[in-house]
Amino acid sequence: MRAAVVRGFGGPEVVEVTETEVPEPSAGQVRIKVAAAALNPIDAGIRSGAFGGENQQLGLGWDVAGTVEATGDADGWNVGDQVVALDYGMAKPLGTHAEYVVLDAGSVAKAPATVDAVAAATLPLNALTAVQALDVLELTPGQSLLVTGAAGALGGFAVQLAAHRGIAVTGLARESDEELVRSLGATGFTTGGGGSYDAVLDAAVLGEAALPWIRDGGAYVGVIPQAEPASVRGVRTAAVLVRPDGARLAELVRLVDEGVLTLRVAETFALDDAAKAHARLAEGGLRGRLVLVP
């Protein structure tokens, strides 16, 4: 099968599509024939060496939508099931940017019924990160939340999920994104922060600069593990380490089918053009995910 990998660090040009054996599922695993797989900033970080892994092949891709093609005695899954999943891992030899991927059955959920595989592939990583970050914050209906980077894929999910919980959401983004952010459910909008909120979900990775916008004793959650700022004024600070969770992903799929969550695709690329997709990601300015199609 074909798979996008890196064997050395650098820019988009180091991404190569290689031929490798089709992986076989072990007990409790499923093999998914990939229909679509999103490209995320984490893939660019792996490609550039931000997370280590020198002198080894690193597979790219964390999100997948596709069809169960084989099972390793995995309860609850049958050949032909349409699924989505998160393939976690900074230093795995193969990722979801491939024709097939093998994953633990517990990380898999039935695909949304109301969208195609390309759109569905944008859900797992960013939506799971958003919902797990909100869980850390432990906000209750009526409390206030500032989401930085609210127009991005992660921030957009955070806005929608928080608003669905009855939280008063303000989005921080560029002025040109105000209409988009409000359409996602934000009741407030800012381009420069300020104010006083019960919590900040820092999808834009502002770090310490976001702390003055949190009330004394409030909460901050970042999206880069172990990179949260130190606590001040009793503000609880943490960072979410996203984890695969098929049951939670199934809840998010239900919210897609109910129209609560919006899936945004910026552009699609063939798997063989993975390096071009990385180059487009590096250009920035995307409002939605790039998606690779084998």
217 CB-contact burial (10 Å; exposed 0-12 / middle 13-18 / buried 19+): exposed
Record the tokens describing residue 3, joined without a space. Answer: 């798979």
2-123+263-293 against 126-239: fold identical: no
Domain spans in the chain, listed from the N-terminal domain onward: 2-123+263-293, 126-239
pLDDT for position 253: 98
Record the tokens describing residue 55, joined without a space. Answer: 């002198």
Record the tokens describing residue 153, joined without a space. Answer: 């894929």
pLDDT for position 202: 98
pLDDT for position 254: 98
pTM: 0.96
Task: Tell me how far CA of residue 237 lies from CA of 84, 120, 162, 208, in angstroms.
Answer: 31, 32, 18, 10
Look at strands 100-104 and 82-86 and give their pairing: unpaired
The ranges of the chain with pLDDT < 70 are none
pLDDT for position 41: 95
In this structure, which topology does domain 2-123+263-293 adopt according to CATH? Quinone Oxidoreductase; Chain A, domain 1 (3.90.180)
In this structure, which topology does domain 126-239 adopt according to CATH? Rossmann fold (3.40.50)
Provide, for the chain, the percentages of residues in helix, strand and coil under a 3-state DSSP scheme, each rounded to the nearest 5.
30, 30, 40
pLDDT for position 260: 97
The residue with tokens 């970050």 is 133
pLDDT for position 285: 85
9 CB-contact burial (10 Å; exposed 0-12 / middle 13-18 / buried 19+): middle
